[in-house]
């Protein structure tokens, strides 16, 4: 029987995170959004009370928490700042998770341990200018040369790419194998042949930083390969499956924030002699928003519950990610509508949520990809 209630430990973790986010993240939001600059010190601040290690094993400096702790963190931090949380999300649940799941012991000691301490910041380099949903179109290549691999190619939309100390990179090591010929590599920032070609301008998530990365005869030791050669696609998909559950929680947190802002505004905005929240039309909008958020949260918690117990959860992860991210987009749009003209102004946070939410329907597999995944589990 599924029990989705939080344990005492999980509740305490959630409450502590809420206080942390209000104290350490909330004051940074406006400046980071205006300047489109990421507050890199947040990694150290989150490491001190152990938040960066909540999901990781004790032997590497973590707390040994399960997927539910990741979901709680994602929801609470996204509630305060989707843009700032995005950098943490990529660091923890893509790059560091790949090293945890597929790295050798020496790789974990060199990258995972300092990553949990906040001493090193990571990025995840999967997407390319012409390869996103279709990994078979990946053109970044890595060929063996003695004790090294030489990487050539370009990666696009890489969160944390402007400042990351190391990047986990997907590259094709055997073009004849298609998607099965992809491998994973760890590339240090100071590796010759690696460069950040440009910082990207984005519609939303402005507090995060995204970059285009270029690899030109970038030589990395063969010991920097993650897992076995030609298993990078499977490794990436394994990492992304749990990441999709965390992305669903990300969407839930953002939708909650938009709904709370709209509800508060509806209670104080006067029109026709009474607060607009007294009109049934807006009451129904807010009721529908609350119902959608609760359904998204239940799907997300169900997927996390299954993942925490090692049970199959591919379908449930895709369902949660699909429904939660589309719900966030709908809720954020309605929040803007409830604010009327003020919803279009940057002085109210709903305009930021509206710009931010769309990314979640694209990253970690588009909504269309997840519909394909769900359909396959139905035997179609």
Distance between CA 242 and CA 159 in Å, rounded? Answer: 18
Q: Are 286 and 263 in contact (CB under 8 A)?
A: yes
Distance between CA 100 and CA 88 in Å, rounded? Answer: 16
151, two tokens: 């990487």
Q: Is 37 a catalytic residue?
A: no
Distance between CA 25 and CA 87 in Å, rounded? Answer: 13
CA distances for 156 relative to 17, 25, 160, 267, 306, angstroms: 32, 27, 12, 43, 33
The owner of tokens 């604010």 is 339
* Per-position DSSP letters for 100-117, written without gaps between them: HHH--HHHIIIIIHHHHH
Distance between CA 176 and CA 160 in Å, rounded? Answer: 32
* Catalytic residue (choose from 24, 76, 128, 364): 364
Residues with catalytic roles: 364
């Amino acid at each position: 029987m599924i029990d989705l209630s939080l344990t005492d430990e999980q509740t305490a973790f959630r409450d502590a995170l809420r206080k942390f986010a209000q104290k350490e993240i909330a004051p940074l939001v406006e400046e980071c959004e205006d300047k489109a600059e990421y507050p890199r010190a947040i990694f150290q601040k989150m490491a001190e009370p152990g938040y960066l290690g909540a999901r990781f094993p004790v032997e590497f400096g973590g707390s040994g928490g399960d997927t539910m702790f990741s979901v709680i963190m994602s929801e609470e931090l996204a509630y305060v700042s989707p843009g700032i949380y995005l950098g943490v999300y990529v660091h923890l649940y893509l790059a560091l998770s790949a090293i945890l799941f597929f790295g050798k012991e020496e790789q974990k000691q060199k990258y995972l341990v300092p990553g949990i301490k906040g001493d090193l910041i990571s990025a995840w380099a999967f997407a390319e200018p012409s390869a996103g949903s279709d990994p078979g179109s990946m053109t970044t290549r890595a060929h063996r040369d003695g004790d090294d691999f030489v990487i050539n190619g370009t990666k696009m939309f890489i969160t944390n790419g402007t400042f990351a100390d190391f990047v986990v990179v997907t590259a094709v090591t055997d073009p004849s194998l298609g998607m099965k010929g992809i491998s994973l590599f760890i590339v240090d920032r100071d590796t010759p042949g690696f460069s950040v070609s440009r910082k990207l301008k984005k519609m939303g998530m402005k507090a995060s930083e995204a970059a285009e990365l270029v690899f030109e005869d970038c030589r990395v030791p063969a010991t920097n390969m993650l897992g076995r050669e030609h298993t990078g696609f499977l490794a990436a998909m394994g990492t992304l499956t749990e990441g999709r559950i965390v992305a669903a929680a990300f969407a839930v947190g953002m939708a909650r924030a938009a709904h709370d802002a709209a509800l508060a505004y509806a209670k104080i905005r006067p029109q026709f002699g009474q607060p607009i929240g007294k009109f049934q039309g807006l009451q129904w909008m807010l009721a529908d928003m609350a119902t959608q958020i609760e359904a998204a949260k239940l799907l997300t918690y169900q997927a996390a519950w299954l993942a925490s117990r090692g049970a199959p959860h591919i379908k449930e992860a895709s369902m949660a990610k699909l429904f939660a991210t589309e719900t966030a987009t709908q809720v954020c749009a309605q929040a803007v509508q409830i604010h009327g003209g003020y919803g279009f102004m940057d002085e109210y946070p709903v305009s930021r949520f509206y710009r931010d939410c769309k990314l979640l329907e694209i990253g970690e597999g588009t909504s269309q990809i997840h519909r394909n995944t769900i359909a396959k589990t139905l035997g179609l």
